[in-house]
Amino acid sequence: MNLTHINANGEANMVDISEKKITTRTARAEAYINMMPETLKMILEGDHRKGDVFAVARIAGIQAAKQTSHLIPLCHPLMLTKVSVEFDPQPSHNRVRIETMCKLAGQTGVEMEALTAASVTALTLFDMCKAVDKAMIISGIRVLEKQGGKSGDFKAGKA
């Protein structure tokens, strides 16, 4: 299998997608952020002095997905039609699971947008809570599923 972002001379190369069919494409990604139990409790009870932590992180994730081509050098700018960011607080594990979904009708996939949304959402949670919990850990960033396109569908196994 060849890397698509490297040309015959071994140089970085933006893939030409002009001949690819427009199809509906979706991708889902996840990330986790572990924190002290007190930090998670503060978020869930709405006691954080910065306000609704999840609302701010959700907006940051959506914005990040829309800016992916500005952050990842060889990504194509995409006209996303849907971006969602969901939170699954898991107090028994002292963490929050983040799941993102990106969708469009286009010529290239949206995995990078979903991953960027998950990453920046986790980073925003960290930023908003670092004053009370500097030891948070962001982990498990991965693509869960992708649909559409020539390469077909993908679904990740259990982590």
* Domain segments of the chain as ranges: 31-148
CB neighbours of 63 closer than 8 A, spacing ≥ 6? 120
CB neighbours of 34 closer than 8 A, spacing ≥ 6? 93, 94, 95, 136, 137, 139
Determine the pLDDT at residue 11. Answer: 80
**What strands, in cross-sheet order, belong to the sheet with 95-106?**
82-90, 95-106, 23-34, 137-147, 154-155
Per-residue pLDDT band at 19 (split at 50, 70, 90)? confident
- Sole residue written with tokens 């071994």: 10
Lookup: tokens for 1: 């299998």
Q: Is the pLDDT of residue 5 over 90?
A: no
Tell me which CATH code domain 31-148 carries.
Answer: 3.30.70.640
CB atoms within 10 A of CB 123: 17
Distance CA 43, CA 51 (A): 9
Task: Determine if the pTM surpasses 0.75.
Answer: yes
pLDDT tens track for 72-130? 999 999 999 999 999 999 999 999 999 999 999 999 999 999 999 999 999 999 999 99
Determine the pLDDT at residue 2. Answer: 64
pLDDT averaged over every residue in the chain: 92
The amino acid present at 150, given as its one-letter code, is: K
Per-residue pLDDT band at 148 (split at 50, 70, 90)? very high
Task: Specify whether 16 is catalytic.
Answer: no
Q: Hey, which residues does 153 pair with through a beta bridge?
A: none
**From 16, 52, 127, 153, active-site residue:** 127
Determine the pLDDT at residue 3. Answer: 62
